[in-house]
Structure 1
Amino acid sequence: MTSVPAAAPPPTGLRRLLPATQAQRILTVATFANSFGGGMFTTASVLYFTRVVGLPAGRVAMGLFGGAMTGLIAGVLVGRLADQWGPKRVHISVMLGGGVVISCFTLIGSFWSFFAVSLVAGAIIPADEASKAPLIRGVADGNPTLFIGYLRSVTNLALAFGSVAAGFAIQIDSRPAYLALVVCRALAYVGCGLILLRLRLPETAPDPAEETKRGWAALRDRTYLSATLVNAVLSLNYAASGFLLPLWIVGHTSAPRWMVSAVLVLNMAFVVLLQVPVSRGVHDARTAGRRMAWAGAAFAAGLMLMAFAAGTSPWTASALLLVGMGVFAFGELWYAAASYEYCFGLAPARLQGQYAGVFGLGSGAVEAVAPAVMSLLPLGMGLPGWLVLSAVLLFAGLGSGPLVTWAGGRR
């Protein structure tokens, strides 16, 4: 009589919070290390450039904009290299190179040295995302949208911890403290690359001949380009929460200044706790289009609630900001889940790097101009500007599914 092996007991305790496979766990740990360093650097980098290096804020913005322009090209090129040479090799190279480049910020002493380093540093994040996409697809067990939802939760948690760590350096407010943050950011990149050396991907050897034959397939894929366009427009939501809202709260409402932190912490908590369950229902372009529609409606409603906080009492303004951010945060969750499905679900597996690079090209271009859009519309025009921004996001969300379907029919 053949014995039936006993089923493995379900994971308990902390193991329930970890991904199922070793490869996923390695990628998760590497992501946490990288994001922790990113949280430290993002929180304090502008203060380092202005207070320690002595650059005017306008010059810092010019350098960051130059880096953003470099990143638009780097993401597409590095994504294609990941398809040709293997994503693990390319991604580790990007991480190690990022450590070298970021460490160069400790040596700058003038605007031109800052600008030169910024041009190279601006390529790191787009190159990181484009080369990481094939890694995610390779270890995701056929459901990259769900796994990347998990990674997004981990990323937000690590960013929060990194921001707290940066707060100590900001409180000390000395050159050694800020330099330590820059060095820690560089070490986080290097640590991420070293952790990924242990990653074992499925045996899918890259095929440079096939890639060369197909060329820039992503730029000829109308379905993917339409999804890229919709995603780019809706990615304005990140500038709305990260750039517009702090300036609106401090300069246009009677809410206490600490409300800036309160609404951003609320947004982060939604992402950490709810991104994975929200991502479970998104499994094809049809469901992604539906979530994009929900996201557009939530963005519009949340923005209008926060716009009405102007001209009210401190208590009313605080309540409108918190409720508005709660609604807005659900939009961000739906948008992120749908965006991941478009990025991965519409891309051929063998060309994921190239497709992810093109997908990031749209949102990267919008990210570069988003501060100007926010300054021109809500901050410059007041309520009419909020209405225009809300309408753009609403109609982009509602039109997402029909546009992608129409483009797919014409492919």
Structure 2
Amino acid sequence: MDAKPRAAARPKRIPGGRDGRRMLAIALVDRTGSGLWASVSVLYFTYVSGLSVAEVGTLAAAAGAVGIAGAPLGGRLADRLPITRVLISLQLLRALASLALLTTDNYTLLLAYSAVGSLGDRAANVLTKLYATRIAGPDRVRTQPHTPTDANVGGALGGLAAAAALAAATAYRWLLAGDALSFAAAALLTLRCGEPPSPSRIAATSKDTAPTTRPANPWRDRAYLAYVATETVLSLDDAVFKIGLSLWIAHTSHAPHGLAALLLVLNNVLVVALQVPLARLGTTTAAARNLLIPLSAAFGLGGITMALSADGGTSTTPLLLTVSAIAFTLAEMLHATVSWELSVALAPDTAQGAYLGVHGLAQSAQRSLGPLAVTAAIATGPIGWTTFGATIAATCLVQRRLVRDRLARTPLSVPPVTVSEH
């Protein structure tokens, strides 16, 4: 009898093989440590460092402003140096900045150390995405959904660990030390990752490349800068869950205050459960662009239901707020898929790092603009939330038209991927 044919090899779930899985593990460790610190940072500066409310707010704002420079700086370095070495250096820098906070209560030094940590955080965030993009190659769309999933799981684990530690009266300093150790562990894990090919460095060393040829400059690419501007608006959903929901519920008499925490848990659960399945809707560049239509609808629905909750009763208000949270979570997941693919597809291979670094400015900028946008929506009431949702919904359609001509001049960067390949 003929030997039975060998079963077809089972496709890898994570493109990039071991290095792809290691980078996801690194992201999980990183975000777990960040979750520890994010949960207690305000309390640490208030009760341990003895800062006033105004000083804590100024420190956070200043550190965030400095962090904006981290994304383009990290991207530029990744086009010139091995990305793993840069990432290791940034993780160690973040670890040192966290440990340095333990050494002083001087406001100027706390501000400086926080700014350095913020700079490293935004740069490392861009480099993690760039590494995943390079190691996965054409299959990068299948890597994308695992990144926000790991971030949510890591943030939740860190938050739960911090809550347990505080309940047990564990010192705030140990939580900050745990944050620093997570960055050191991430650096050690990165040492085991292989260096992916860099199109920009290959082009720079190629004998066929003319000496006078310069890589594309994202700061002179008006179309890409306009795209990044729309990305800043589309990223405002982040502020809804960090600030908007809690403040709105606090000012809505018919909603129990405990609902805010439950909706945040719902957000994390939905992202962990649905991010990977939803990413199958954007398996090509063209498909990712078309997702901007349902993304627009999700933002519009989120704003309308938030506005309607102001006039609801004791039963309808929680229901409307839940629908709004689901709509904004759906928007968050769809935008993650769209943003990952379009930001890479619109960037020239020879300047990928620089372009993704500029794209990272969108997330950095929304950290400052987001709180202002949602507090303005809350201050103006239902019409404010309707305008908030409608503005982002309209921006989705603007972005869809904006990238159309650019993509028409460029072949699709990602071949079709069947659902079975997941």
Under a length normalisation based on structure 2, what TM-score does the superposition of the two structures give? 0.88
Cα displacement (A) at 1:58: 1.9
Q: Of residues 75, 86, 89 in structure 2, which corresponds to 1:90?
A: 86
Q: In the aligned structure 2, how far is the partner of 1:55 from the partner of 1:164?
A: 25
CA distance 1:270–1:115, shift in 2 (3 Å):
same
What SS does the aligned partner of 2:251 have?
helix
Instruction: Tell me which amino acid in the other structure corresponds to 1:58.
Output: A
Q: In the aligned structure 1, how far is the partner of 2:2 from the partner of 2:120?
A: 56
Q: Would the aligned equivalents of 2:346 and 2:407 in 1 still touch at CA under 8 Å?
A: no
Q: In the aligned structure 2, how far is the partner of 1:8 from the partner of 1:182?
A: 48
Q: Which residue number in structure 2 is paired with residue 280 of structure 1?
A: 280
Q: Would the aligned equivalents of 1:253 and 1:312 in 2 still touch at CA under 8 Å?
A: no
1:48-80 CA deviation, whole Å, 9 max, x = no partner?
A: 111221111221121111112212222111211
Q: Of residues 58, 75, 78 in structure 1, which corresponds to 2:74?
A: 78
CA distance 1:388–1:47, shift in 2 (3 Å):
same
Cα displacement (A) at 1:408: 5.8
Instruction: Tell me which amino acid in the other structure corresponds to 2:329.
Output: A
Q: Which residue number in structure 2 is paired with residue 178 of structure 1?
A: 172
Is 2:29 the counterpart of 1:30?
A: no
Q: In the aligned structure 1, how far is the partner of 2:219 from the partner of 2:138?
A: 25
Cα displacement (A) at 1:127: 0.6
Q: Would the aligned equivalents of 2:33 and 2:178 in 1 still touch at CA under 8 Å?
A: yes
Q: Which runs of 4+ in 1 moved over 6 A?
A: 1-5, 16-20
Q: Would the aligned equivalents of 2:153 and 2:272 in 1 still touch at CA under 8 Å?
A: yes
Instruction: Tell me which amino acid in the other structure corresponds to 2:195.
Output: L
Cα displacement (A) at 1:33: 0.6
Q: Which residue number in structure 2 is paired with residue 153 of structure 1?
A: 149
CA distance 1:171–1:254, shift in 2 (3 Å):
farther
Cα displacement (A) at 1:230: 1.6
Q: Of residues 98, 101, 119 in structure 2, which corresponds to 1:102?
A: 98
Is 2:62 the counterpart of 1:63?
A: no
Q: Which residue number in structure 1 is paired with residue 194 of structure 2?
A: 200
Q: Which residue number in structure 1 is paired with residue 112 of structure 2?
A: 116
Q: Would the aligned equivalents of 1:253 and 1:309 in 2 still touch at CA under 8 Å?
A: no
Q: Which residue number in structure 1 is paired with residue 384 of structure 2?
A: 385
Is 2:124 the counterpart of 1:125?
A: no
Q: In the aligned structure 2, how far is the partner of 1:111 from the partner of 1:7?
A: 64
Cα displacement (A) at 1:27: 0.8
What SS does the aligned partner of 2:185 have?
helix
Structure with the higher helix share, 1 or 2: 1
Q: Which residue number in structure 2 is paired with residue 221 of structure 1?
A: 221
1:58-107 CA deviation, whole Å, 9 max, x = no partner?
A: 21121111112212222111211111001111111111111111111112
1:275-315 CA deviation, whole Å, 9 max, x = no partner?
A: 11211222444322221232122012122212222243332
User: Which stretch shifts more, 302-311 or 123-132?
Assistant: 302-311
Q: Which residue number in structure 2 is paired with residue 21 of structure 1?
A: 17
Q: In the aligned structure 1, how far is the partner of 2:362 from the partner of 2:137?
A: 27
CA RMSD of aligned residues (A): 2.6
Instruction: Tell me which amino acid in the other structure corresponds to 2:126.
Output: A
Q: Would the aligned equivalents of 2:288 and 2:337 in 1 still touch at CA under 8 Å?
A: yes
Q: In the aligned structure 2, how far is the partner of 1:222 from the partner of 1:309?
A: 40
CA distance 1:207–1:139, shift in 2 (3 Å):
closer
What SS does the aligned partner of 1:254 have?
coil
Is 2:310 the counterpart of 1:316?
A: no
Q: Which residue number in structure 1 is paired with residue 307 of structure 2?
A: 307
Q: In the aligned structure 2, how far is the partner of 1:74 from the partner of 1:31?
A: 18
Runs (5+) with no aligned partner, structure 2? 206-210, 411-422
What is the percent sequence identity of the aligned residues? 29
CA distance 1:7–1:190, shift in 2 (3 Å):
same
Q: In the aligned structure 2, how far is the partner of 1:4 from the partner of 1:231?
A: 53
Under a length normalisation based on structure 1, what TM-score does the superposition of the two structures give? 0.91
1:143-186 CA deviation, whole Å, 9 max, x = no partner?
A: 2232021121122111111110010233245xx52111100000
Q: In the aligned structure 2, how far is the partner of 1:239 from the partner of 1:406?
A: 31
Q: Would the aligned equivalents of 2:306 and 2:385 in 1 still touch at CA under 8 Å?
A: no
Runs (5+) with no aligned partner, structure 1? none
Q: Would the aligned equivalents of 1:288 and 1:401 in 2 still touch at CA under 8 Å?
A: no
Q: Would the aligned equivalents of 2:70 and 2:121 in 1 still touch at CA under 8 Å?
A: no
Q: Would the aligned equivalents of 2:79 and 2:198 in 1 still touch at CA under 8 Å?
A: no
1:109-146 CA deviation, whole Å, 9 max, x = no partner?
A: 13222212122122022111222232111221422232
What SS does the aligned partner of 1:231 have?
helix
Q: In the aligned structure 2, how far is the partner of 1:292 from the partner of 1:105?
A: 42
Q: Would the aligned equivalents of 1:298 and 1:327 in 2 still touch at CA under 8 Å?
A: yes
